[in-house]
Amino acid sequence: MADQTKPWFIGGDFNTVVSVSERSNGVYPAHHSIEEFSEAIFDGGLIDLGFEGSPFTWTDHRLWQRLDRVLFSSEWMDALPQTVIRHLPRSSSDHSPLLIQTSWMFVKENWSFPTTSSGMGKVGAKLKRLKHRLKDWNKNVFGDIFANLTLAEEAVVQAEKRYDSTPTEANLLEMNKCTAQLQHALSIEEDFWRQKATCRWMLEGERNTRFFHSMVRKKRSRTAINSVFHEGQLLTNEQLIKESGVDYFRSLLTTESTRTAPSLLLNIPRVISVSEGEALYENTNTEEVRRVIFGLSSDSTPGPDGFGAMFFQKCWEIIHEDVVETVQDFLNGSPLPLGFPSQWLRLVRNCITNCWFSILINGSLNGLFQSSRGLWQGDPLSPTLFVLTAEYFSRNLNILMDSDRSLLFQGSQGISHLAYVDDVLIFTNSKERSLQKIMEFLKGYEEASGQLIHIAKSSFIVAPKTPLAVKRTIKRVTGFVLKSFPFNYLGAPIYVGRKKIEYFDRLVEGMATKIGGWEKKFLSYRGRLQLIKSVLMAMPTHLFAVLDPPKGVLLRIERMLNKFFWGSSAFSLKLWWRFRTTESLWAGFLKSKYCKRSCPASTHIYSNGSPQWRRLFKSKDIAETSLFWNIGKSDLCFWHDNWLGDASLADIMQPSFSLHERVNYYWKNGEWDKDKLSLVLPMDLVQKVVAIPFDDIVNDKPCWKVDPTGNFSVKSAWELVRNGGIRRPFLKEFWHPTVTPSMSIFIWRLLHNFIPVDERLREKGLSIVSKCMCCHNSETVQHLFLNGNVAREVWLYFGTLFSLIPPHTEYISTMIHAWRLSSPFVNNGHIRLLLPILILWSMWRMRNEAKFNDARFSSYWIIRQVSSYLTRIYKAGGMKSVQWKGDLVIASKMGFVFPKPAVLNPKIIRWLRPAAGWWKLNCDGASKENPGKAGAGGIIRDCRGRMVLAFATGLNIQTMFLLNYSPLLRGFKWPEKRVALNF
């Protein structure tokens, strides 16, 4: 379905959720279920638009969940970007009905008639005039499409009711008439959307990538406002929503009269020098304005006039005089705290009071009003003004707390507040007097600065055992809402007690949402990697710097990133398999469009091909080499489809006749027509072809050669396309489930000499005394881990236990290598490979305990720690008898008893001769690693048991999966010039 070209959606009861917030009461949902459903949505390229109404669609009156949802394709969002999902009230069912609604917006951004206004008033006048003209045009030509449709629907409902109550012929005719009018209204709506889609394509074409188109669609759906509370009333009418938005922001961005207490300004010291102040109000010159203009992004969003930064940059030589003059006119007091000059004050006030705003609601600009309270977002002056007001806030709050220490809470160590951007944490006690003092300060700050504190977004947090009466007092005095642990602040979970995986759900869901906003299929691997490095990994970085998340959280993030980065071309092979072997609607469409004059196996890429076709075509060559056809009615291409077994005829020889002939063209009376075949094929191929049976009653049957069942599987496709390399066992042996990742990383660091022993620190320039924890020698890697008194005792103890004489060496790798070669049964995970890792790790841990915690550094404690770790792993079931192969007696001495392996009864296997007219191929292969250097061989015998031929060959690097089939394919290729009835 992900490759359908028409708009589509899927909806219903999915019986699972995509986040823990979609369930209320009951136990937490299973994370694997959430991840599987989220991956299915992501892989299908589907979009969840969210909803309006109740957050839950199912309940049994104890548990509430959002089990029902509607998911849309990107093609649907292209056609109907304003789709809205509503959760309707439940009636007799335990599920809520879902209502799908669409709305439209058509904005024409061009006008050419002059106006008498100037400046921003000119733009406002044109916008107002355009608004009236669009309304008149819509009313006179089409009317209100959605209003007409709503009226038609209501008329049908009333007509049906009348006919149900009085089933007369007149009521039946009226009902049919209303139904026809409804169909007409629906047809007009459909035509409107079709025309809109055409206009959009003609205007935009392919100037933007589909990746960014998809991001815009999703952003539009997420930012759409379909209802809003205004002064206690729920507004759903779009025009009322827009008017309420304009009223709210006009009030917010308009300055009320402010007054600043002179005593508060005295707390601000003078930090700006006279020369610095003079530089702030120097006359603006052409070069300064040019630097600002060319410092803007050329593809930045244009303003209400439609001109972006690129216009001013490209036309600078023509317009620069007018632009500079405008800037200088714009930039034509009492002293400011910190020492800013009054002239600079006037410039700042001009910036603040000459900023005009329109409110963007559901894709259209609404209103035009002047602000006197702030700057537009992104203005380079904005951070400076914020820092100035934050300085005013912090200095005066510190002075308030210092002058009255009773405002601080016990244990605060004199910290009054912490500020993070525009979020402030104030620490105080719960006394009513303290709370009133703080609120008086905040009120004074509002009056002095013009900034307003958002009461609805402000909250207070108290200790878990705080009395209810105290909580009520705080809420009454402050007006803030109560928050309880755990809660999120700046993306970090704040909790008391044991950390839990669910505390980090918001982080994981945020990363999943970010990934969901990107269309992976439009991104290269380099693009995916860059997004992971620059965006995704930046999300948890600051959080993990201060918090230690559970391992389960890291695993979820790792799986998510792996899924996003790798994807898999194996899925493209699956699409090609379905394209060739099924008669689905999408496959038939692509065949009729791209394979009308050629066989699918021989078709070519087209410059105007769709992204879906391009994706399919990339996997064509690999897929066709693994696709084999058993001949049936044979609509197969004679030259290009692989029905021979080894390859297609076109791969073996140059076709000399029509490339579009079908296999059944070379049949005659239910048999192969040798005369026709001999005209196009050499005699050896003719003999090979006529030996192939066919059944002209059944359909051609596809076979996937790399899977033993002949059926396609993603696993086999993945093995086919993956890039395997030779693994180095020396590095692999340090990563095993029996040892922890900390141990593995430690060994890697140790082998690379990255362990901070005393001598290494001295080499780095630290002036410390180097002293071993067991003697008076210097502490080096060799002395600590190999040649020191304690190290020798430990190696000797375990060497004696395993009948190994430890080598006298200066290299860690030599010691590990000696243990690796000490038994013929050693392989990855064997005790003789794991034991050196545990010994070295335990030595390092005991060294740190002795150095920093005054513990005793002795061989006894190291040996005991190694033995204790092995015992814990054994009791936990993490150790198997195969890891002690050849050393089971030693294992029993250490208390590790493993059940004896089941005795396998011998089974006699006989070779049987093939039936008359048949040959039998017996073959096998082997490799040193998986993947690794491999070889294969086989023997072919006839029906009398006589050897026809034998072969042996090297296969270079092979995986075990492909090695199961490579000898078989090689065996079929050897007798190409021999005549065989059947294999």
* Local structure of 70: helix, strand or coil: strand
The answer to whether residue 333 sits within a structural domain is: yes
Beta bridge partners of 64: 24, 59
Percent of the chain with pLDDT over 70: 70
Element spanning 672, H or E: strand 671-672
Q: What is the pLDDT of residue 210?
A: 46
Residues 593 and 678 in one domain: yes
> Residues with Cβ < 8 Å from 543, sequence gap 6 or more?
491, 492, 507, 549
Instruction: Quickly list H helices, 337-467.
Output: 342-353, 382-403, 432-449
**How many Å apart are CA 482 and CA 145, to the nearest integer?**
47
Residue 440 has pLDDT above 80, yes or no: yes
Q: What is the pLDDT of residue 103?
A: 40
Instruction: Provide mean pLDDT across the span 330-342.
Output: 46
pTM over 0.75: no
Residue written as tokens 């002209």? 696
Element spanning 150, H or E: helix 145-165
Alpha-carbon distances, residue 593 vs 582, 608, 700, 823 (angstroms): 16, 11, 22, 65
**How many Å apart are CA 716 and CA 458, to the nearest integer?**
56
Q: Pull the structure tokens for residue 163.
A: 């006919």
Q: What is the pLDDT of residue 603?
A: 80
Are 196 and 104 in contact by the 8 Å Cβ rule? The answer is yes
Q: pLDDT tens digit string along 858-873?
A: 898 899 899 989 988 8
CB atoms inside a 10 Å sphere around CB 536 = 21
Residue 519 has pLDDT above 70, yes or no: no
Q: Compute φ and ψ for 439, nearest 5 degrees.
A: -65, -35
Q: What is the pLDDT of residue 534?
A: 66
Residues 544 and 576 in one domain: no
Q: pLDDT tens digit string along 826-855?
A: 888 899 999 999 999 999 999 998 888 888
Residue 918 has pLDDT above 60, yes or no: yes
**How many Å apart are CA 802 and CA 887, to the nearest integer?**
8
Distance, CA of 980 to chain centre: 55
Residue written as tokens 């008439």? 177
Q: What is the pLDDT of residue 22?
A: 86
Q: In terms of residue numbers, what domain contains 858? A: 729-893
Instruction: Provide mean pLDDT across the span 600-622.
Output: 75
Q: Compute φ and ψ for 628, nearest 5 degrees.
A: -125, 145
Residues 865 and 789 in one domain: yes
Residues 647 and 755 in one domain: no
**How many Å apart are CA 307 and CA 290, to the nearest integer?**
17
Q: Which of 354-368, 638-652, 770-784 has the lowest mean pLDDT?
A: 354-368
Q: What is the pLDDT of residue 106?
A: 36
> Residues with Cβ < 8 Å from 732, sequence gap 6 or more?
828
Residues 632 and 715 in one domain: yes
Confidence of residue 204 (pLDDT cuts 50, 70, 90): very low
Q: pLDDT tens digit string along 52-93?
A: 778 889 887 778 889 999 998 888 777 666 677 888 877 657
* Local structure of 856: helix, strand or coil: coil
**How many Å apart are CA 788 and CA 793, to the nearest integer?**
9
SS (H, E, C) 587-650: HHHHHHHHCCCCCHHHCCCCCCCCHHHHHHHHCHHHHHHCEEEECCCCCCECCCCCCCCCCCHH
Query: Taking Cα atoms as reference points, which of 608, 675, 680, 689 lies closest to residue 642?
Result: 689
Query: Taking Cα atoms as reference points, which of 581, 642, 307, 265 lies closest to residue 445?
Result: 265
Q: Compute φ and ψ for 722, nearest 5 degrees.
A: -70, 150
* Local structure of 873: helix, strand or coil: helix
Confidence of residue 218 (pLDDT cuts 50, 70, 90): low
Q: What is the pLDDT of residue 198?
A: 36
Residue 587 has pLDDT above 90, yes or no: no
**How many Å apart are CA 138 and CA 957, to the nearest integer?**
70
Q: What is the CATH number of the domain that holds 953?
A: 3.30.420.10
Are 228 and 241 in contact by the 8 Å Cβ rule? The answer is yes
Alpha-carbon distances, residue 23 vs 15, 27, 64, 67, 286 (angstroms): 12, 9, 6, 9, 61
**One-letter amino acid identity for 579?**
F
Confidence of residue 971 (pLDDT cuts 50, 70, 90): low
Are 653 and 685 in contact by the 8 Å Cβ rule? The answer is yes
Instruction: Provide mean pLDDT across the span 754-780.
Output: 86
Report the relative pairing of strands 487-489 and 701-704 from DSSP bridges: unpaired
**How many Å apart are CA 212 and CA 517, to the nearest integer?**
10
Residues 416 and 512 in one domain: no
**How many Å apart are CA 847 and CA 852, to the nearest integer?**
9
Confidence of residue 796 (pLDDT cuts 50, 70, 90): very high
Q: What is the pLDDT of residue 281?
A: 57
Residue 969 has pLDDT above 50, yes or no: yes
Q: What is the pLDDT of residue 208?
A: 34
Q: Compute φ and ψ for 697, nearest 5 degrees.
A: -95, -40
The answer to whether residue 743 sits within a structural domain is: yes
CB atoms inside a 10 Å sphere around CB 948 = 15
Domain edge (last residue) among 544, 566, 588:
566
Residues 22 and 83 in one domain: yes
Q: Which of 561-570, 602-611, 646-655 has the lowest mean pLDDT?
A: 561-570
Residue 256 has pLDDT above 80, yes or no: no
Domain edge (last residue) among 62, 81, 101:
101
**How many Å apart are CA 313 and CA 296, to the nearest integer?**
9
Q: What is the pLDDT of residue 335?
A: 39
Are 718 and 704 in contact by the 8 Å Cβ rule? The answer is no
Residues 674 and 696 in one domain: yes
Query: Taking Cα atoms as reference points, which of 483, 488, 515 lies closest to residue 503?
Result: 488
The answer to whether residue 689 sits within a structural domain is: yes
Residues 559 and 580 in one domain: no
DSSP string, 299-346: TPPP-TTS--HHHHHHTHHHHHHHHHHHHHHHT--PPPGGG--HHHHH
Residues 885 and 924 in one domain: no
Q: What is the pLDDT of residue 791?
A: 94
Residue 104 has pLDDT above 90, yes or no: no
Confidence of residue 463 (pLDDT cuts 50, 70, 90): confident
Looking at every residue in the chain, the average pLDDT score rounds to 75
Residues 15 and 88 in one domain: yes
Q: Which of 28-32, 327-331, 805-809, 861-865 has the lowest mean pLDDT?
A: 327-331
The answer to whether residue 150 sits within a structural domain is: no
Q: What is the pLDDT of residue 909?
A: 82
Q: Domain total for the chain?
A: 7
Q: What is the pLDDT of residue 123?
A: 39
The answer to whether residue 510 sits within a structural domain is: yes
Residue 439 has pLDDT above 50, yes or no: yes
Q: What is the pLDDT of residue 77?
A: 76
Domain edge (last residue) among 397, 429, 461:
461
The answer to whether residue 440 sits within a structural domain is: yes
> Residues with Cβ < 8 Å from 591, sequence gap 6 or more?
579, 600
The answer to whether residue 489 sits within a structural domain is: no
CB atoms inside a 10 Å sphere around CB 341 = 19
Q: Which residue has the higher pLDDT, 122 or 742?
A: 742
The answer to whether residue 802 sits within a structural domain is: yes
Residues 317 and 400 in one domain: no
> Residues with Cβ < 8 Å from 613, sequence gap 6 or more?
590, 593, 594, 605, 606
Confidence of residue 762 (pLDDT cuts 50, 70, 90): confident
